[in-house]
Chains A and B, each alone.
Chain A
Amino acid sequence: MNDILLRHREIKDIGQLAVYRQNEGFEGFKRAVTGMQPDELTEMVKASGLRGRGGAGFSTGMKWSFIDKNAWPHYVVVNADESEPGTFKDREIMESNPFQFLEGVALCAYAVGAHTAYVYLRGEFWQLAAHLDARIAEMEKEGLLGDNLFGSEYSLRIYTHLGAGAYICGEETALLESLEGKLGQPRLRPPFPPSFGLYGKPTIVNNVETLANVPMIVQKGVDWFRGFGTEKSPGTKVFSLSGNVVKPGNYELPLGTTFRELIYMHGGGITDGRKIKAIMPAGASSSLIVADDKALDTPMDYESVPSVGAMLGSASIIVVDETVSMDWLINKTMHFFQHESCGKCTPCREGTYWMRHLTERIHHNQATWDDVILLQDVASNVKGKCLCALGDFSTEAVISSITRFRGDFEAKVGVPLSAPAEAELKEQVSN
């Protein structure tokens, strides 16, 4: 089922403007600009229950309604940085269903009174930037972007902007800094972008997938949209499935689909019929879920995933099978976070560097339980003390793997954990 986002899989050539328009493309935008008040559109999105697909799951309509109407101009910035390891959904949407995405950007801009929207793409997406530029040019040619759209007072222009390859620029305020031409480091929040965003002006920052939903909500209505997914997490979601599965890839499924359905029905099960061990539902930023029956039967929506000790995040489901030892996995994630920490705040800058040294030692059989306990302690000292979420995310895999997969570390260290050491470990976790 590719009803909302991956419609190109159903409708051939929807990536061409003519085809997209034949399928009611831009009708919603036209209807909004010519017949709806901006606030009506915001209310509609609010009513749809659409939640941000970048990871936080915040109500999109609510965010739009927060835009400060006492300060102008307003901007829309699309977070197309898609840099979470294991996430590759936005890329497919922008590549293959670009006009739906761009219509979503336009609708958002109209709803919040912005006349300029920027699509901030990660540096590696340079081909995609050229692709989008060409699509934007087509839209301008057909009068879908530019001045006095559809004979109204409303004008809008969309620009793409390439980052320089930093994970942190997926964090919305670091993204704004980078877009302004500064070093990509997160800002203090509050103030939040809807009151103080790009160039200090009210700004709505939304994920690509989030905005790609909007044209279909406008076209087919709130009730239709709410027909997918759950009460609190309506709609579908593109799940990026990767890891030890037979058929990795993007799957558009209703929110609330179980891990089991995604992994075994759609993903074809585990490679070589091996046993599943763990799931990382939100890429490298994820806690490791012990993939038992309870977990596999957990619905993938914003409310249910925390019950098995993780967050849905951007729903990049990385499947880990029994051949993988957790010391290897956390060493990989720590390499990533150590490389990507922006360095602005102390715990993340120094902690990721330290943790990487520890995971390295553990992975290379040069560690004792003291090192594992120290790792756990360092991780818990980083957690909750950082300027932005990156630091916290860097500890998720570490802390969850040590507490939930202790056997892997016992095997690495060579001896079981002593009782006093276990008490110490527990104390740190509770801190």
Chain B
Amino acid sequence: MAVADTTQQKLVTLTIDEQQISVAPGTLVVDAAKRAGIDIPVFCYHPKMEPVGMCRMCLVEVGRPVLDRATGQPVMGEDGQPQLQFGTKLETGCTVPVSEGMVVRGYTDKVKEARDEVLEFLLTSHPLDCPICDKGGECPLQNLTMKFGPGQTRYIYDEKIRLDKHVPLGDLIFLDRERCIQCARCTRFQTEIADDPVIGFNERGRKLEIVTFSDPGFDSYWSGNTTDICPVGALTTADFRFGARPWELKSVASICTHCPVNCNTTLNTRREAKSGGKAVVKRIMPRQNEMVNEIWLCDKGRFVYQYTEEANRIAQPLLSKNNQLTPASWDEALAAVADKVKKSGGKLTTVVSGRLSNEDYFNIKAFTEAAKGQIALYSHMAGGDLVSQVGLGQGSNLADLGKGDAILVVASDLEEEASLWWLRVKQAAERGATLIVANPRRTKLEREATHVVRYSYGEEAAAVHALIDSISPKRPEQTEAVKRLMTQDEIKAAAKDIAEAQNLVVFYGSEGTDLAASESLASAAANLLIATGHVGKPNNGLVAVWDKSNVQGAWELGLRPSGDLASLMKDAEVLYLVGVDPSGDDPQLAAAVDAAKFVVVQELAETKTTQAADVVLPAQAFTEREGTLTSGERRVQRYYPAVPAVGETRADYTIAAQLGALIGATLEAVSAGRVFTQLVETNEAYKGLTMQRLAEVTEQWPIIGRADVYYGGTTYDNKSGLGVQVPTAADRGETPVLSFAQPLERERGDGLLAVPVTKLYDHGNMISKTVLLHNRLQKPQVTLNPEDAERLGLEDGKATKVSVNGVQAAVTAYLDNSLPRGTVLIPRSLGLPISGPYTLKVEA
């Protein structure tokens, strides 16, 4: 639920348990109490969802001043105070909005008895299997029973209802029907927040049960969140159930490294015998950051961490001897690399992944520069420089966007590319923001869209130009595509709304784009913001839906992707690959790697590329070290080491620093904090940042983890930092200039146009190590328009073979009637190499 703005409205004053408090009109009694520091216990109420008043736990006495019918003024009693009228029945504090002069009594005998009674009722059907329940120790039902409940039962145990206890709702979530207290938090979450209403109630009365009606079961990227908000142990995740007791767990703050949202997480770890006494990650939970992920986390962020486990890792350096990678010492391996680098005469090519930390980038870049080599970012997207200039203004929070504001999402299937942003944009639209979704085909975000703009793949920049020119013509000569798009009613309507918007945020993704197209699109999107004056202020600006978690951080430090990575790599005397797998991604790149003289790969785990390496340097996973990341919203956030490093692995920034030392460059190797201190000095946007500032926390709403218990554990609590959103160049007073670049347009060849799209559950090197998700990973696939499919003799769900870039692969064909004819969608990292749009011949 949106919290009413307390600054602008006339406040309502009421008294709760003798304490006077003024809150915004419309605030519910339970929330008002929370603000006053008073806990009214709840089960079904959740501050992020509409109230339903089902569980009756929050019953309180509510008195209202008696109003004189004629004057509307309160009637005064003999004591000079307004006369109060209390209802005969208790009222649910979660459904009653505050009113002027209201008096709420939360601790009278009548109220205490009611709480005792509701708990007694709940416990009559509850199995009381706390000793073996995963929720035990962080369970709202357990906690509230201890605080308010009856000491003993009056219910005959044999009369307890017996229900199924291990019901898989899907691969990820299990339901214990006996423990369920029918609060509907999970079903409401799936309907109201996730917009995947795939679970619901079946039957009625005491037989009321949660069921799933999707195939596969509980088919949603958000399912894990239901286990967090479940106030009992009814819903548990498949990875954690019967895995550990909450009180044994250590909580370490972290940041999700799977997408540019950079959700705040807590890693729960435990030392255990089966891991040789080492601490291991038992689960990942969302950590509250209302400016980033609120209290939510997508299932990829929650479940994908097995790739960091020891069994999947390279634990020590490897050196190629007689064409065989054999274990070596760090000294040997580093010396071998330094030796080649020194002899390369500046022909060092470094390629870095988009998911490294800022400190890693800083040191790796410094090392490369010291060796006079060149460095490239492994990414298919561009525009990070523009985001640095006109990105989200400092102080932005997507939660502030609403009525009167506009959001444009172009070339992105947002839920697949950056799930939490989908959620936040959806919520902004629900609050009344104008949402314009521009994409050649239907995506989930369109359900909330005010305007849906369709263009053909390759025209993404032209579509944005059409919007700019519909608002105010900035360029006399327009391309044919722009002229044609400008005749579309939806573009005209969207342009009108953009022109009138108070705030404007533009998200651009990489649906259908390669690097060149991405650059053109980013430039068009930046021009739109500049032309309409939506830069350099909070809640305005450009957001790139990056392909990796810290691509923006890489751009901030001056790293850039290469337009011709294959040539760059092929010609290298020393090729230094950090966290990337070109050989696994694309046969062309594999050939380039093979052509390079000496290949050094710094990685977590074995990949096709490490197999081609001369030296493999084992790196630490994000769980084992500290560092900072810069999100797509340009929030710099900090993560902390949670488990001991696997084997002899070292942090990426340390390895780079140690390599640097061998070629005469002095770099910080010991701590990320020291690297961070250096990097903020060299970077305008980061000026003044310290690790301490990133760790600061201010109070957030809703308040989590008090005795009223929305959540019974400790992992939601953010004690380790909300991060800092850094200023853009525009924030710092630089005036961005319109570039007037023409949109990139490509000639269409004969045949079908294959375009890359992104899927959350692809076959990336990390997610594919998570066994739990194997059934949920997308199949290698192509998606076609039904007419094209019919011509080719393909049916929905039918297996077929395609040959792409020299790779022949068995794929499943899917049909999508919203897809433009003549187009084939090929997801990235899903068995078929695809780096950009190109013409393709599909044979059925």
Contacts and interface: CB of A to CB of B under 8 A. Distances in A.
> Do A and B share a complex?
yes
A347 interface: yes
B55 interface: yes
Interface stretch (A74-82, A99-107, A119-127, A334-342): A334-342
A183 B122 contact: no
A346 B208 CA distance: 12
A293 B701 CA distance: 63
A342 B54 CA distance: 11
B154 A350 contact: no
Interface stretch (B198-206, B348-356, B728-736, B785-793): B198-206
Given A385-B114, A385-B117, A343 B51 contact: no
Nearest to A357: B159
Contacts of B204: 166, 168, 183-185, 340-343
B89 interface: yes
Given A188-B95, A345-B56, A384-B88, A350 B159 contact: no
Interface string B183-215: 000000000000000001101111110000000
Interface residues of B, number: 36
Interface in A344-363: 344-347, 349-354, 357
Contacts of A339: 205
A346 B205 contact: no
Contacts of A351: 121
B154 A353 contact: no
B54 A350 contact: no
A387 B53 CA distance: 7
A353 B89 contact: no
A188 B28 CA distance: 14
B718 interface: no
Contacts of B161: 353
A304 to B, nearest CB: 22
A346 B54 contact: yes
Given A188-B95, A381-B117, A387 B56 contact: yes
Contacts of B51: 188
Given A343-B182, A354-B155, A374-B154, A349 B90 contact: no
A353 B204 CA distance: 12
A347 B206 contact: no
Contacts of B491: none
Given A385-B114, A387-B56, A349 B208 contact: yes
A429 interface: no
B114 A353 contact: no
B89 A384 contact: yes
From A184, A345, A352, A386, residue with most partner B Cβ within 10 Å: A345
B704 interface: no
B205 A353 contact: yes
Contacts of B52: 188, 344
If over half of B's interface residues share one DSSP class (helix, strand or loop), that class is named, otherwise mixed; here it is loop
B583 interface: no
B206 A385 contact: no
B181 interface: yes
Interface string B47-72: 00001111111010000000000000
From B89, B117, B118, residue with most partner A Cβ within 10 Å: B117
B125 to A, nearest CB: 6
A385 B56 contact: yes
Contacts of A385: 56, 59, 89-90, 114, 117-118
B89 A352 contact: no
Interface in B777-803: none
Contacts of B118: 346-347, 385
A357 B57 CA distance: 24
B124 interface: yes
28 contacts: A168-B204, A188-B95, A338-B206, A341-B204, A341-B205, A343-B203, A343-B204, A343-B207, A345-B54, A345-B55, A346-B55, A346-B122, A346-B181, A347-B121, A349-B205, A349-B206, A350-B124, A351-B121, A352-B205, A352-B206, A353-B161, A381-B117, A384-B89, A384-B90, A385-B56, A385-B114, A386-B56, A387-B53
Closest 5 CB pairs of A and B: A343-B208, A350-B121, A341-B205, A381-B117, A343-B205
Given A339-B205, A341-B205, 16 more contacts: A188-B95, A341-B204, A343-B201, A343-B207, A344-B52, A344-B208, A345-B55, A346-B55, A346-B181, A347-B56, A352-B206, A357-B156, A381-B120, A381-B121, A385-B56, A385-B89
